[in-house]
Structure 1
Amino acid sequence: MTRTAASGSLVLGEIAGATELVGAIVQRIADGALSDGDRLPSSRALAEQAGVSRGTVVRAFDELAAAGFIVAQHGSGTRISDGAAVAARAGARTRGVAPTPSTPDPAPRQGRSPRDLRPGIPDAALIDERAWRRAVRAAAGGMAGVNPWEEPSPTLVAALSGHLRRHRGIADAQPLLFDSSRSAVAALYAAFVDASPGRSAVVHIEDPGYRGALLMARDQGLDVRFHAADPDGLSTAALGDDPAIVFTTPAHQYPLGHRMSVERRVALAEWAGRTGSLVIEDDYDGEFRYGVAPLPALVTLPGAADHVAYVGTSSKSLAPDLRVAWCVPPAGLRRPVERWLAVHRRGPSALPADALGEYIRTGAMDRHLARAARVYSDRRMRLVTVLGEHCPELVVTGVEAGLHLCVLLPGHDDEAVVGALSERDWRTRSLSSQCAAEPVPGLVLSYARLHGRDADAFGASLREVLTGLALPTR
C-alpha cells in the first residue's frame, strides 16, 4: 500500500526557495521520514504548507526528479523513487554528489574491458536494461505507418525539449536531430557560410580541443584560428571584431576539462551579438558535475539565443552506438540547418531516436543520470586519489565535471607513455594527439569504466612507466 506523506513531515525550518525545499525533502528521505514509494502532496498543497509559491515547488520537484529522488506518474501523483532512501543516506544530493566508498560499483559486463581509459565511452552497464527494453518495445510498436520522409521522431523532439529545460535551463527548445555531434557542427558551419555569402568564414577553436570540430572545419575549407586553451575559457580579446564562428565546450573543455567562467561566458555571448558571429556550444558531457554548482549554458544568457547554437549528444550519457545527437540553432540559421539535413540525410535512425524519446519521457533517463552521476563521482575520486598517492608531482585538471580528467606530463614524451602503458594492458590517449598548433604532453583519462579494483593498479603502472622513461640516457 502506498503511504502518503503526513502533513508537516516534509519541511525543516523556514523554507525560502526551491533549493531549501529540495534539501528539506532529501533530508527527510535520509532520516527515514519519507520512504521509497511514499506519495508526496500536490504542488499546490505543499506550497501552502511550506509558505512558498507553487512555482517554487514545481522547480523543486523538477530538480528532485532530474536527480532521481522522485517520479511523477500521470494519474498517480508524485512518489519517492525506488532506491531514493539508500541514495540519500549514502550522501547523494541533487547539486553534486560527495564521493563516498559506500557507492556500489556494478560488476563490468562481459566483453567490456575496464582497462580501457580512453575518453568518449560511458559505462553502458549502468543503463537500466528493463527500462531500455520497454522503451525500445514502445518505439517499435509505434513505427507502423510512419512516413520516413517526415521529420524524424517527434517523440524525441518533445522529450528533449523538457529534458533540456530541466537539466540545462533551455526553455522552449525545438531541437533538430542528427546522427552525431560532428554532423550538427558541420551543418552549423555550412549554414553560417550560406548566410554570409562572399565572406571568408573564420573558425576560432581552442587548442588542445575537439578534433571533430577541426576536421569538419577543414573539410569545408574554412579558415581555422587556434587559441591556447585557458582555464577560464576563451577570451574575446583574441577574437577580433569581424563576424566569425567560435567552437567551444564551456561546461567541460575538451580535453583539459576546464569550466568556462561566468564572466567569459557573458563576454562571449555579448561579442557574438555585437559582431554578428556564431558560437557553437558543444555540451557533450555537461550533465555530469561533481560538488560544484551548475553554470548557465551559454545559450540561456540574455540575448544569446540569437547567436549561440547548442549541441548535445546521447553518446556520453548513454552509449555512442545510439548515434543520436541534437542541435538548437539560432532562429536565423534554423532553415539553412534544416536544408543541410534534408540534403545530407544525417539524421538519426528512427528506432533508436524514438526509443530514446520514450526513455526520457518515462523518467528513466533522469533516474539513469542520477545513478550514473553517483557511480562516476566515486570512480573519479578513486582515480584522483591514486594519482595523488603514486604520482603526487603531476597536475590533474578537469575533475569537476564530465567523464574524463587530464594529467599533465611536462618534460615527458606522452606518446611514449601511452605506448609503455599499452604494454601493461592499459589503453590511454595522449594529450598531444588532441593538439593542433602547440603540442602539450599529458594523458586524457576516462574514469567512466574504471572499476575500483583497477584504479590502484593503474596508478602503480603509471608510476613505473614514468620512472622507467625518466632514466637518464647515455
Structure 2
Amino acid sequence: MLPLPFALEQGGIPLYQQLYDALVEQLRRGTIPAGSRLPGKRALAQRLGVAVNTVDTAYQMLVAEGYLESRPRSGFFALPVDDTVASGDLPAEYIPPLPEPPSYRFDLSTGGVDTALFPFRTWGRIQKELLYDAPELLSHGSRQGDRNLREAIGHYLALYRGVVCSAEQIVVGAGSEYLLGLAAGLFRGATAAVEEPGYGRLRTILSNNGVRCQGVSIDENGLSVDALRRCGASLCCVTPSHHFPTAVTMPATRRGQLLRWAAECPGRYILEDDYDAEFRFDMRPLPSLQGMAGQRGPVVYLCTFSKSLAPSIRIACMVLPPELLERYRAMYGSYANTVSRFEQQTLCRFLTGGHFTRHLSRMRGIYKTRMARLADALETALPGALLQGKHTGLHLLLTLPDGPGEEEMVRRAAEAGVRLQGLSAYYAKDADAPPCPPNTVILGYAALPDRDIPALADTLARAWRS
C-alpha cells in the first residue's frame, strides 16, 4: 500500500476538501507515481478515521479533474500529470489585486448622486408587482429594448427634450458608455472631433473602437465650429446642454452653425450627449440638437437615467437616424439586450405613471438648494473665490485667483480629507485651445450631505489659505 503521510483535521475546511488537496499535492510532486493504485475507499477511510463518503467524494473530484482513473472492479489509479502542473516548485504568476480607493471625509467627485433621494418605495412596489404579475419577463425581450419602454422613453424625450423620433429608432442599453461603444463601431475608421477640455473616457471608448479623436477647443458658447471645420472630422461629439467640465451651455445660434456643418457634406454626423440636461435651475433647457435637426437629421442622441435615478441602475438610451439604424441592425442586430427586463418594465411603469417627472422635480429643488448653500459657504470661507456652473448640472468650478496652484490645491485638499479634481485633468492638449485656467478645481456636490457643507468650506479654507 502507498504511504500517505498526512492527517485530516476536524473543523474548518471540510474533510473531503482536505483529502483532495493532500492527494493533488502528492500527485503533482510525483510522490504518488503515475499508474499507481490508490488505497480502496474503505481501507483509506479506516486509516484516516473518516467516513467512506468523505474518501469517495475526494476520489470522484480527482477523477473529474483528470488526476485519477476509475477502473471497474480494480479501483482508482493515478494518471500522468502534465510537467507544467507537476513542477510544484514553480511560483504561481502574481496577479496584483485592484487597488482599494482611498477613503475621504468629503467626496466631491462628479460621478456621485444622493442615494437618499432614490424613490425606494415606489420603485420597490413596482418591481414587486412585476415579479408576481409578469413571469414572462424571465424570457428574452426585444434586442433594442422592450417596445413599451421605448415608447415611454420616446414620449418623455419628445415632451421634455424636444426629441423627434419613433420607438423603432430608440436603443436601450446598460449605460451610456456601452451604447457609446456601439455607436463608435458605426464610425470605425473615421475621425471624431471631441471637446477640449472634455470627458476623457469618451476618447478612450472611441479609440478602442477604431475612431481617431481630434480635440476641438471650447469657448464661451461651446465647441468652436471654425475649429471643427479645420480639423477635418466627419463625426462631432458634443454635450450642448451642459458641457463637462466647463458647464457651458451651447446657445441656439451655435447649435444652428453646428447643424449646418453636418448638412454641408454627406456622411457627417453629430453625436449629442444630453449630459445633465434634466438639472437646469434657472430656466427650461434648450431643445436637443436632435429635435432641431428632425427625425431624419444627422444626429445620434444619447441620454442616461444614471444621474436621475442611481448609477447602479444601468439604463441609457440612444436615438439613431434611420440610415444609421439600418447600419446598427446589420452590425448588432443579433446582440441580446443588456438590461434586465424587470428593470426595463419598472422604468416603463415609473415613466408612464408620472412618477419620474415628480421625482425629477423634487431632485431639482433639493439640488438647487444644496448648490446655493455650498456656493454661499465657499464664498464666505474663501473671499475672492470665483464659482462657475450655478445655473445647471451637479458640479461647480471653483477658481482661487491667488491660490497656491491647481496641483497644490488638489494635494492639500486630499491631505485634509477632501476628494476633488483639477480642471487640467480634462485637457488632452491635442487642440489649438486656450490654456487651462489656473487655480481651478471641480466640485461635484450631488452626494454631499447638506450637514457637511459648513465643515467642508472651513476645511478647504484652512487647507488653501495655510
Does TM, normalized by the shorter one, top 0.5?
Answer: yes
* Match in the other structure for 1:189: 184
Alpha-carbon distance in structure 2 between the residues aligned to 1:143 and 1:230: 52
Question: Does 1:157 pair with 2:141?
Answer: no
* Match in the other structure for 2:375: 384
1:225 corresponds to which letter in structure 2?
Answer: Q
Alpha-carbon distance in structure 2 between the residues aligned to 1:345 and 1:424: 47
2:247 corresponds to which letter in structure 1?
Answer: G
Question: Does 1:138 pair with 2:129?
Answer: yes
Q: 1:171 to 1:227 in 2, by over 3 A?
A: closer
* Match in the other structure for 1:414: 406
Question: Does 1:465 pair with 2:458?
Answer: no
2:426 is aligned, of 431, 434, 454, to 434
Question: Does 1:425 pair with 2:417?
Answer: yes
* Match in the other structure for 1:60: none
Q: 1:305 to 1:115 in 2, by over 3 A?
A: farther
Structure 1 residue 414, shift from structure 2 partner: 2.8
Alpha-carbon distance in structure 2 between the residues aligned to 1:386 and 1:186: 40
2:221 corresponds to which letter in structure 1?
Answer: D
* Match in the other structure for 1:228: 217
Q: CA RMSD in A?
A: 2.4
Structure 1 residue 147, shift from structure 2 partner: 3.6
Structure 1 residue 349, shift from structure 2 partner: 2.4
1:190 corresponds to which letter in structure 2?
Answer: G
Alpha-carbon distance in structure 2 between the residues aligned to 1:159 and 1:149: 16
Q: 1:147 to 1:259 in 2, by over 3 A?
A: same
Structure 1 residue 316, shift from structure 2 partner: 0.8
Contact in 2 for aligned 1:121/1:315 (Cα 8 Å): no
Contact in 2 for aligned 1:272/1:307 (Cα 8 Å): yes
Secondary structure of the corresponding residue to residue 447 of structure 2: coil
* Match in the other structure for 2:32: none
Secondary structure of the corresponding residue to residue 192 of structure 1: coil
* Match in the other structure for 1:402: 393
- More displaced 10-residue stretch of structure 1: 113-122 or 201-210: 113-122
Alpha-carbon distance in structure 1 between the residues aligned to 2:215 and 2:173: 27
Q: Percent same amino acid among aligned pairs? A: 29
Aligned ranges 1:307-326 → 2 under 5 Å: 307-326=298-317
Larger Rg: 2
Alpha-carbon distance in structure 1 between the residues aligned to 2:211 and 2:255: 24
* Match in the other structure for 2:446: 448
1:213 corresponds to which letter in structure 2?
Answer: L
TM-score by length of 1: 0.69
Q: 1:447 to 1:223 in 2, by over 3 A?
A: same
Alpha-carbon distance in structure 1 between the residues aligned to 2:277 and 2:333: 29
1:256 corresponds to which letter in structure 2?
Answer: T
Alpha-carbon distance in structure 2 between the residues aligned to 1:386 and 1:340: 52
Contact in 2 for aligned 1:206/1:227 (Cα 8 Å): yes
Alpha-carbon distance in structure 1 between the residues aligned to 2:140 and 2:337: 13
Secondary structure of the corresponding residue to residue 157 of structure 2: helix
Note the alpha carbon deviations across 1:105-143, whole angstroms, 9 max, x for none. Answer: xxxxxxx99822111222121122211112212333324
Structure 1 residue 461, shift from structure 2 partner: 1.8
1:203 is aligned, of 174, 186, 192, to 192
Contact in 2 for aligned 1:245/1:280 (Cα 8 Å): yes
Runs of 4 or more consecutive aligned structure 1 residues displaced over 6 Å after TM superposition: none
1:257 corresponds to which letter in structure 2?
Answer: A
Structure 1 residue 425, shift from structure 2 partner: 2.3
- More displaced 10-residue stretch of structure 1: 252-261 or 239-248: 239-248
Secondary structure of the corresponding residue to residue 194 of structure 2: strand
1:428 corresponds to which letter in structure 2?
Answer: L
Q: 1:303 to 1:162 in 2, by over 3 A?
A: closer
Note the alpha carbon deviations across 1:320-377, whole angstroms, 9 max, x for none. Answer: 1011110001111012234444466563222222211121111111110010000000
2:202 corresponds to which letter in structure 1?
Answer: A
Q: 1:219 to 1:381 in 2, by over 3 A?
A: same
Q: 1:130 to 1:271 in 2, by over 3 A?
A: same
Contact in 1 for aligned 2:165/2:319 (Cα 8 Å): no
Q: 1:464 to 1:203 in 2, by over 3 A?
A: same
2:253 is aligned, of 254, 263, 286, to 263
Alpha-carbon distance in structure 2 between the residues aligned to 1:339 and 1:408: 49
Alignment coverage as a number of residue pairs:
351
Structure 1 residue 238, shift from structure 2 partner: 1.2
* Match in the other structure for 2:172: 177
Question: Does 1:329 pair with 2:320?
Answer: yes
Q: 1:134 to 1:258 in 2, by over 3 A?
A: same
1:360 is aligned, of 351, 355, 364, to 351
Contact in 2 for aligned 1:187/1:340 (Cα 8 Å): no
- More displaced 10-residue stretch of structure 1: 419-428 or 283-292: 419-428
